[in-house]
Structure 1
Amino acid sequence: MAEIVAIKRVADTPLRVEADGPLLRVILASPPANALSREMLKRLHEAIDRASTDGAVRVVVIGAEGKVFSAGHDLKEMNGRRGDADRGRAFFEETMLACASLMQAIVRCPKPVIAAVDGLATAAGLQLFASCDLAVATDTATFCTPGVNIGLFCSTPMVALSRNVGRKQAMEMLLTGETIDAATAREWGLINRVVPREYLNPVVTKYAQTIASKPASTLRIGKEAFYRQAEMPLAEAYDHSVRVMVENMLARDAEEGIGAFLEKREARWED
């Protein structure tokens, strides 16, 4: 049974955070839209920051209640600021920067982050799960970047989207605003697995527990190296990865793990 360690309910933007052994479940609990309001962005960022420094947390799982994973930014909240003296410019900029900061925090989090997607993930909602390291979706989940349909190109979701799928596929989604199904999303590389709804939590939990059983220090080293080398030219990426590999080889857990493998015994991780 998961222990509820924090519940934040501010206005209509609740976020539920549960400790489940080595897993930290972060649940968007503001149906029907699970919109990424300013308050929701703040609470999500706080949860990721907490997970990053909490030694008891090995893996983070981001999910949502209801039939929509997340419909993206709270457009009512944003449109309500058009009456400001600057027509909302400052609020829009602060919101987009807060969202960008959250997505980067997920990528930079030293703990693996898995998205459990059920229902529609659209615009910044797609950006949220696409920023995670892994994503499992139900077979009825759907995905889109529909900003073009309302005159607002999904430029910030584009950053995460274009780092997950090919350019032609990303541009198809961005230019048409059309929805793709879970099978297409998996074919394009946007998600890892497609499962029936009743299997979503069991499959995600199994994924998370498998990852949580690995040495935390190795996961941290590997995740950081993966994203850093992905931003580098080929030769620079290899130079960086060689340095990381050497330091990793000298780490206590690598010495123990290799020794255990050669001696055909269970490894004893120090983390």
Structure 2
Amino acid sequence: MTEVTAETLNPIETRRDGHVLEVTLNRGKANAIDLATSRIMGKVFQDFRDDPELRVAIITAAGEKFFCPGWDLKAAADGDAVDGDYGVGGFGGLQELRGLNKPVIAAVNGICCGGGLELALSADIIMAADHATFALPEIRSGTVADAASIKLPKRIPYHIAMEMLFTGRWLDAEEAARWGMINQVHPADQLLARAREMAQLIASGPPLVNAAIKEIVREAEDMKFQDAMNRITKSQFATVETLYTSEDQLEGARAFAEKRDPVWKGK
């Protein structure tokens, strides 16, 4: 049985269950993110990246109404600069965190819009409560959803993404799932449990393979197929090279030959 530990870092709560880190945004009624919160989140995800015992993270939020509306406009009115120091990893700690080769699951428990949607899009898997809603309302305040303008047209049909960006219209969870923006929809009282099940399933797999998957997918996104394949075969992806010379690679072969479950060590 794995040990479960918890920690509170002002607006961020963390829960560690074996190889899984759970990060909960808990900042006021709406869970909006200011500069200080973003910097804390960046440190949390940086530590997650660098901890060899952690394999999967869940990002969620406290309460039942809001996942995250993004940037805290009240903090901005009090002097937080929109182009200020977001900390390592950029806004919300995930979007620009270099070398994050571990899976991240977003458990969206309510309203998810603006920078909050950009935060969710930074995850590898998105699960949502059945009452969750999604939008990019920046157009209505005369600004641009910059990260979403890059990410969203690559994740869902181009015309749906452009409609969201140009009009700010809202999608409910069912429609978001239909367009492939999110993976699964669950009753609100089951969401976190289902996210934890998914995290434990992924964490039980080979961590070096998960790392290689993340690096290949990220680096190959704008590459031609053959160029990406050449980089793999020439050992130009660090995670792939680590995998192919690892104890886990041998363990996988031995376990298959011996007809038993493999024991992954991540080395």
- Please give the TM-score of this superposition, normalised by the length of structure 1: 0.87
- 1:182 matches 2:173: yes
- Offset at residue 256 of structure 1 (A): 1.6
Alignment match of 1:94 (pick from 79, 84, 90)? 84
Distance 1:145 1:96, change over 3 A: farther
Q: Is 1:124 equivalent to 2:126 in the alignment?
A: no
Q: CA deviation at 1:219?
A: 1.5
- Tell me, yes or no, if structure 1 residue 240 matches structure 2 residue 242: no
Task: Identify the residue that residue 69 of structure 1 maps to in structure 2.
Answer: 67
Counterpart CA distance in 2 for 1:21 and 1:133 is: 20
2:36 aligned with 1:45, yes or no? no
Q: Displacement, 1:96?
A: 6.7
8 Å Cα contact 1:37/1:77 also seen in 2 = yes
**Distance apart, 1:35 and its partner CA:** 0.6
Quick one: which amino acid aligns to residue 99 of structure 1? F
Return closer, same or farther for 1:247/1:147 CA change in 2, 3 Å cut-off.
same
Is 1:214 the counterpart of 2:205? The answer is yes
Which residue of 3, 6, 11 corresponds with 2:5?
3
* Secondary structure at 1:270 match in 2: coil
Cα distance in 2 for residues equivalent to 1:100 and 1:45: 7
1:104 is matched with 96
Work out the CA distance in 1 between the residues paired with 2:86 and 2:49: 22
Q: What letter corresponds to residue 35 of structure 2 in structure 1?
A: R
3-state SS, counterpart of residue 115 of structure 1: strand
- Report the Cα offset of residue 75 of structure 1: 1.2
1:85-142 CA-partner distances (Å, limit 9, x unpaired): xxx8xx322257832864121x731221111001110000000011011111011110
Aligned-pair RMSD on alpha carbons? 2.1
Deviates more, 1:172-181 or 1:253-262: 253-262
TM score, norm. by length of structure 2: 0.88
User: Aligned letter for 1:69?
Assistant: F
Amino acid at match of 2:120: F
Which residue number corresponds to residue 85 of structure 1? none
Q: Secondary structure at the match of 1:211?
A: helix
Q: State how far apart, in whole Å, the 2-side matches of 1:168 and 1:28 are.
A: 32
Secondary structure of 1:33's aligned partner: coil
Alignment partners' CA distance in 1, 2:129 and 2:35? 27
Distance 1:190 1:200 in 2: 17
Give the letter aligned to residue 8 of structure 2. I
Give the distance between the partners of 1:252 and 1:209, measured in 2 at CA.
22
Between the two proteins, what is the percent identity of the paired residues?
A: 31
Structure 2 stretches lacking a partner, 5+ long:
none
CA distance in 1, matches of 2:57, 2:93: 17
In structure 2, relative to structure 1, the CA distance for the partners of 1:258 and 1:234 (3 Å cut) is same
Retained in 2: the 8 A contact 1:256–1:268? yes
Query: Which residue identity does 1:253 align to in structure 2?
Result: D
Q: Which has the higher helix share?
A: 1
State the distance in 2 between where 1:15 and 1:96 align.
15
1:184–1:21: structure 2 CA closer, same or farther, 3 Å change rule?
Answer: same
How many angstroms apart in 1 are the aligned matches of 2:22 and 2:35? 20
Residue identity opposite 2:91 in structure 1: C
2:43–2:93 CA contact under 8 A, matched in 1: no
Give the corresponding residue for 1:135.
126
User: How far did 1:190 drift?
Assistant: 1.2
